[in-house]
A and B are shown apart, each in its own frame.
Chain A
Amino acid sequence: MPAKTLQWLFGALMAAFLIVPLLVMMPLAFTSSLLLVYPIPSFSFRWFVELFTLPVWQRAIVNSLIIGFGTTALATVLGVLAALGLRRRLPMIGGVIRTLFMLPMVVPAVVLGIGMQILLARIGLANTHLAVIIAHTVVAVPFVIVSVSGSLAGIDRRVELAAASLGASPQRVFGKVTLPLAMPGILTGAVLAFATSLDEVVLTLFVAGPNQRTLARQMFSTIRDNISPAIAAAAFLFIFGTLLLAAVVLIVRRKKEVAAI
């Protein structure tokens, strides 16, 4: 069956095209060479040491964590509240509001970046961590809404009605029924918000001052100016961090599925 073989050859090549670029970075994080090329002369932790000891990288990591967690908190709170509100059918404007909340995913980052820089300077927030957190939250919030709305849509209304008919107050229904059932969606949204903030470069270029340089921003200029294997080490942290967060979400989801059975 040559057609079948051809099919799978295509599938394998495509899968390789999609996956290999995600993997090539990993080994280079442990190179002892000054250059970001294969073959790797010998195994070394020097670039991780540089990442954690060189002030520019150190500060970038700290900034990324501050801004990442700030964005996660702000985007999750705003997104969860809005998703709860959008769950009811808002007369007339529901669709418009939902579209409005999704638009930051669509608008070109450079255009939003210019506007943010103009506005944040005008209201006196230029070159602050808060400015970067706000900018990242705008683009992270759609992810929270999508994932929370998804898990809210999966909740059987009758469960909430049953709880209410058994005498639970609305607050209690929310705290004991709705919120736990929506938790996997909220966690997924929070992780996506964090990942979005971690990876954001373009808005950061516009709104961050030298003291708010994030890891992504630092990687961007390092690739541009002097390619050092430090970016591979930083990329390793990125991938490792994302996988770790994804694992957390997966475990929570599993637990919830088991509980549902």
Chain B
Amino acid sequence: MMSGKSFLQKSGPFLLVAPLFLFICLFFIWPLGSVLTQSVSDNAVARLLPETAKVASSWDGESAPGEDLQAAFVTDLRAATDEQAVGDMVRRLNSAQSGFRTLMSKTLRAVQETPEGLIDLVALDRKWSQPQYWKAITDALSPTTDRYLLAAVDLMRNDAGEIVSQPPEQTINVAIFGRTFWISATVTIFCVLLGYPYALLITVATGWKKQALLAAVLLPLWTSLLVRTAAWFILLQEQGLINSALMDLNIIAGPLALIFNRTGVIIAMTHVSLPMMVLPIYSVLLTIPKNLMPAAASLGAHPLRAFVRVLLPLSFGGIAAGSLLVFMSAIGYYITPALIGGAGDQMISSFIAFHAQNSGNWGMASALGIVLLVVTIILYAVYDRLATQRERSA
């Protein structure tokens, strides 16, 4: 009886945590695992060509392929009835070797018209006598690949299997990651420049002014992100409030281009991220004794010097925490650039969504997602470490 109770007491916390733990494993860890698997898996070709895979190992990869390989390939094509899967396979093959799309549509038509017996593929199209087309097929038969992960950072394997950079006209992902980090860094800097003095002002303010300043930071946090973005859409558009106000005041003659460009994205993202900067800085400033600045002044320090030598170093933890938080969330932004930005301001999330939803290229989408995820997790680990350090020293 006693031991039973103590067992329950001991395992009680685990039993309470267990449902959420299972839920998170199932619907958070597993999906992220699926993204990782998807980013290295390459079964678009392999799952449709099981017979080809069996005989492919006997082919040396250089001479013209033998009849058994051709026959197995035709058998597989006859068995492949799922049109979407065939489309995926053709897309995959065409990305490895250009010219496959036309070749395959020709071949598939021939296979449909000849439901039985051998088909002379070489007579159908001379391309089938060239080994590189067969090489593309046999290369794609391996179930795992690093091509998506390499392509996510603009790398590829050459014919010898070495990792090299992609030809310049195909490189795009590094530039988009660069753009994403650049926009996020700009937003972070604006947030520090605006947020630090604002947090300082909240600290020194008293009474209703303090309440009002605090409320101004907290209210946006309570308001829907979508509503805030939509609001910036209204403010920034050509006949929006900002442009009409500036024109009414005769400051500008024609409307400024504020929307569908970088300016708009940075303004809106700064607004959305600002509370995440102000609050950590404010919470650190609160812990700094109020008499330090007067003490520095009484020792003859110029206010600016006192600020740089005393207040700034002491509040550095808040700036670091706020900056990490803002930067980390900014690199994953999707909604704000999608609605406020132009084509040249879309960040990595938009491209991930595009690959997944518009072009159905789940491998590429997942590989880009993994890169973004790794960067985010590293930033979070640094943030977490800073936060626990502060907790310990407090």
Give A residues with C-beta under 8 Å from B. Answer: 7-8, 10-11, 14-15, 17-22, 24-25, 28, 35-38, 77-79, 81-82, 84-88, 90, 97, 99-101, 103-104, 106-119, 122, 134-135, 137-138, 141, 195, 198-199, 201-202, 205-206, 216, 219-220, 223-224, 227, 231-232, 235, 238-239, 242, 246
Contact = CB atoms under 8 A, between A and B. Distances in A.
B335 A114 contact: no
B334 interface: yes
A79 B239 contact: no
Interface string B347-389: 0010011001100001001100110110011001000100000
Contacts of B241: 24, 38
B55 interface: no
A61 to B, nearest CB: 15
Contacts of B19: 77-78, 81-82
B28 interface: yes
Interface in B176-197: 194, 197
Nearest to A15: B216
Contacts of A141: 20, 23-24
B181 to A, nearest CB: 13
Given A22-B219, A111-B32, A111-B352, A134 B271 contact: no
B7 interface: no
A167 to B, nearest CB: 17
B136 interface: no
Contact of B231 (A15, A21, A107): A21
Interface string B337-352: 0110000000001001
Contacts of A107: 28, 32, 332, 373, 376-377
A32 B353 CA distance: 36
Nearest to B370: A111
B373 A111 contact: yes
A115 B20 contact: no
Residues of B contacting A: mostly = helix
A14 B198 contact: yes
Contact of B230 (A87, A99, A235): A235
10 A-B pairs closest in CB distance: A115-B31, A85-B16, A108-B332, A85-B17, A82-B20, A15-B216, A21-B231, A111-B369, A199-B224, A110-B349
Contacts of A239: 223-224, 227
23 contacts: A11-B205, A15-B216, A22-B231, A78-B23, A81-B17, A82-B21, A85-B13, A85-B18, A107-B32, A107-B377, A112-B31, A116-B31, A118-B31, A118-B34, A119-B31, A199-B225, A205-B357, A219-B230, A220-B226, A235-B226, A235-B227, A238-B227, A239-B224
Contacts, number: 234
B38 interface: yes
B232 A21 contact: yes
A238 B208 CA distance: 28
A17 B201 CA distance: 15
A18 B194 CA distance: 11
Nearest to B28: A138
A220 to B, nearest CB: 6
A189 B271 CA distance: 25
A86 B17 contact: yes
A216 B224 contact: yes
A220 B338 CA distance: 10
A226 B140 CA distance: 43
B131 interface: no
B334 A202 contact: yes
A92 B127 CA distance: 63
